[in-house]
Amino acid sequence: MTLTETQIAPPLGGTLDARAISAWFGDHKVLDRVSLAMPAGKVTALIGPSGCGKSTFLRILNRMHELVPTASLAGEVLLDDRDLYSAERRVTDVRRQVGMVFQKPNPFPAMSIYDNVLAGLKLTGTRASRSARDGIVEETLTRAGLWKEVRDRLRSPGGALSGGQQQRLCIARSLAVRPRVLLMDEPCSALDPTSTRRIEETIAELAGEVTIVIVTHNMQQAARVSDLCAFFLAAHGTPGVIVEHGPTDVMFDAPRDERTNDYVNGRF
């Protein structure tokens, strides 16, 4: 594939629809019939205590769950009404369309900032001319809120950046392949408050263009960045379920379930 100008235009977010997802590691069931629609261009926050299956659910949304040898799942995930798990779908294509940013920033530390941004393009076999590459690097670093800070040192190693900058570089690396969806698993948990704010600003700017699903333990963050919220719970060793989901303001101000109310107010 060769990049053309039209492919450099911002992509539109896709709608993710998870239907009756159950998941296992060996015979340990960790999710039980979880259904959640994540609308195009919206930010959906997944909240809930540790161990209730949020990361597992996220990894099912871009087929990373199947990288664990003991893992299995039931149910289906649709991206714009097309099954992510259908036999004719290439896994690399799924992971290009549905990107992932992790808790710990993981740029290639010895690789230049410039090449880090383009690393995903190489993996997906996308060819681009030198000027197209320069354009992609500038555009994606700008979208990730990092361009002004690094424009004069694009050949420096990614590992030389601060933690917050590294995380924004990882966001840029994900964006360079023009995903429809960006999954973020506690992207600010390893960062200081200022870096956290910068990432939140980036999320706000990306919203509308890219569908975002973010796991966070920070309730203020969920309230600040998300349009929709889903509260996961795994009571007493039972598999994780979604107790309640809906618009973020309703989840925080007028939740239907007492357990949601307790959780968002820090009572467990």
Site residues (CB under 5 A) for Mg ion? 55
Strands 28-38 and 16-25: antiparallel
Distance CA 12, CA 53 (A): 28
Question: Taking CB within 5 to 8 Å according to partner kind, which of ligand ADP, Mg ion, none is near residue 123?
Answer: none
Q: Is 251 in the site for ligand ADP (CB under 6 A)?
A: no
Please state at what angle helix 113-123 crosses helix 163-176, rounded to 10 degrees: 30
Q: Is 53 in the site for ligand ADP (CB under 6 A)?
A: yes
Q: Is 25 in the site for ligand ADP (CB under 6 A)?
A: yes
Give the nearest distance from C-beta 68 to ligand ADP in angstroms. Answer: 4
Binders of ligand ADP in range 61-100 (CB under 6 A): 68
Give the nearest distance from C-beta 171 to ligand ADP in angstroms. Answer: 20
Distance CA 207, CA 225 (A): 9
Question: Taking CB within 5 to 8 Å according to partner kind, which of ligand ADP, Mg ion, none is near residue 56?
Answer: ligand ADP
Question: Taking CB within 5 to 8 Å according to partner kind, which of Mg ion, ligand ADP, none is near residue 183?
Answer: none
Q: Which of 55, 140, 167, 260 is in the footprint of ligand ADP by CB under 6 A?
A: 55
Q: Which of 16, 18, 21, 30 is in the footprint of ligand ADP by CB under 6 A?
A: 30
Beta-carbon neighbour count of residue 127 at 10 Å?
11
Binders of ligand ADP in range 181-240 (CB under 6 A): none
Beta-carbon neighbour count of residue 136 at 10 Å?
23
Q: Which of 34, 38, 52, 212 is in the footprint of ligand ADP by CB under 6 A?
A: 52
Q: What are the strands, taking DSSP E only, across 166-250?
A: 181-185, 211-215, 228-233, 241-247
Question: Cβ contacts of residue 239 below 8 Å, gap of 6+?
Answer: 22, 23, 29, 30, 31, 32, 53
Beta-carbon neighbour count of residue 6 at 10 Å?
6
Residues contributing to the site for ligand ADP (CB under 6 A): 25, 30, 50-56, 68
